[in-house]
């Protein structure tokens, strides 16, 4: 019989339902597809791991995970109102095309080497989150983590609050909007990152970065933006910042208000309403004349 005469061809089968159960043991849903999983606890008395592994086109909602290595090697998954408890260590690895909404993650080493993942309205508290991901988007999230997004690529972040040391190091190609980041050594060695309208309380912000651009940001912390290449600031506030721009190659830095001190920038144009002090190392006279400093209210101390 030809395909044109087959009346059942192309019909959409309903997703199989798994509801209100406790699943334990090793890999209880291994290699499943097209499941709707609701109200399931992945835990129980029997020891196990990898409860959702090698799955595709599944929906999980209002589920709780106690087992480690949850949601690995999956693709085309919708995850809503999930909780990954502390014992569910290393969840969400090696996935493709994942949407995670209204989740709570208390496990360490969550979200590793994923491709195409959206995290929305999600709370994360655990170390080493979102390493080596490609195409990851945090939207309206709260994240408490050390080494957040280490070596990630194609990062997007909007209206997200991040706390913890060593955030966003070695990331490549990133765009951040309306976010709050409190950290130390954040954005070190990053490349091609633009940050808009964000509040950054960071010691040693953006050291050794390349093509880092900050637009309408508020910056606080010790010695920001040193050893940077092709650095751009547009209408940024630098509250209490000392020793900024050391050895940095600046395209342009337009600072609103006052900055406490800048130190030995390599080259570029720095413009501010007021600079308390310009520090120049007498042993670095080779940079003199390569930097233009414009102060609007009065001459800075030299």
Query: Which tens digit of pLDDT belongs to each residue from 99-142?
Result: 999 999 999 999 999 999 999 999 999 999 999 999 999 999 99
pLDDT-derived band of residue 13, with 50, 70 and 90 as boundaries?
low
pLDDT score recorded for residue 288: 57
pTM: 0.91
Average pLDDT of the residues in 90-95: 99
pLDDT score recorded for residue 1: 34
pLDDT-derived band of residue 289, with 50, 70 and 90 as boundaries?
low
Alpha-carbon 257 to chain mean position: 29
Residue 272: φ, ψ to 5°: -150, 160
Interatomic CA distance for residues 155 and 280, integer angstroms: 36
- Matching residue, tokens 């950054």: 200
Report residue 245 as tokens. 């721009």
Residues in CB range of 199: below 8 A, 6 or more apart: 179, 180, 181, 217, 218
Residues in CB range of 299: below 8 A, 6 or more apart: none
Which DSSP letter does residue 12 get?
Answer: P
User: Cα separations (Å) of 41 from 28, 45, 62, 104?
Assistant: 12, 11, 9, 14
pLDDT score recorded for residue 7: 41
Average pLDDT taken over every residue of the chain: 93
Report residue 289 as tokens. 């004349």
Which DSSP letter does residue 127 get?
Answer: S
- 237 three-state secondary structure: strand
Q: Does residue 10 have a pLDDT over 60?
A: no
Q: Does residue 11 have a pLDDT over 60?
A: no
Query: Which tens digit of pLDDT belongs to each residue from 195-204?
Result: 999 999 999 9
Question: In this structure, is the dihedral angle defined by the CA atoms of residues 45, 68, 80 and 183, taken in order, positive or negative?
Answer: positive
Residues in CB range of 223: below 8 A, 6 or more apart: 203, 204, 241, 242, 243, 244, 246, 263
pLDDT score recorded for residue 302: 41
Interatomic CA distance for residues 19 and 165, integer angstroms: 40
């Amino acid at each position: 019989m030809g395909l044109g005469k087959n009346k059942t061809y192309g019909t959409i089968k309903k997703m199989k339902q798994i509801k209100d159960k406790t699943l334990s043991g090793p890999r209880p849903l291994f290699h499943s597809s097209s499941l709707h999983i609701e109200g399931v606890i992945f835990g129980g008395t029997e020891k196990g791991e990898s409860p959702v592994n090698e799955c595709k086109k599944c929906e999980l909602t209002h589920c709780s995970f106690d087992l480690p290595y949850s949601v690995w090697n999956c693709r085309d998954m919708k995850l809503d109102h999930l909780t990954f408890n502390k014992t569910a260590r290393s969840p969400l690895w090696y996935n493709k095309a994942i949407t995670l909404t209204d989740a709570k993650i208390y496990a360490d080493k969550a979200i590793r080497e994923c491709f195409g993942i959206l995290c929305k309205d999600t709370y994360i508290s655990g170390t080493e989150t979102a390493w080596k991901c490609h195409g990851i988007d945090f939207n309206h999230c709260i994240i408490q983590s050390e080494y957040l997004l280490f070596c990630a690529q194609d990062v997007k972040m909007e209206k997200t609050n991040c706390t913890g040391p060593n955030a966003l190091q070695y990331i490549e190609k990133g765009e951040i909007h309306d976010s709050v980041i409190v950290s130390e050594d954040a954005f070190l060695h990053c490349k091609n990152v633009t940050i808009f309208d964000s509040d950054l309380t960071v010691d040693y912000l953006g050291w050794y970065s390349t093509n880092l651009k900050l637009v309408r940001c508020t910056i606080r912390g010790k010695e920001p933006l040193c050893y940077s290449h092709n650095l751009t600031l547009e209408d940024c506030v630098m509250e209490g910042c000392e020793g900024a721009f050391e050895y940095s190659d600046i395209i342009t830095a337009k600072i609103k208000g006052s900055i406490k001190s800048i130190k030995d920038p390599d080259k570029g144009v720095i413009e501010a309403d007021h600079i308390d002090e310009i520090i120049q190392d007498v042993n670095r006279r080779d940079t003199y004349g390569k930097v233009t400093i414009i102060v609007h209210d009065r001459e800075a101390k030299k």
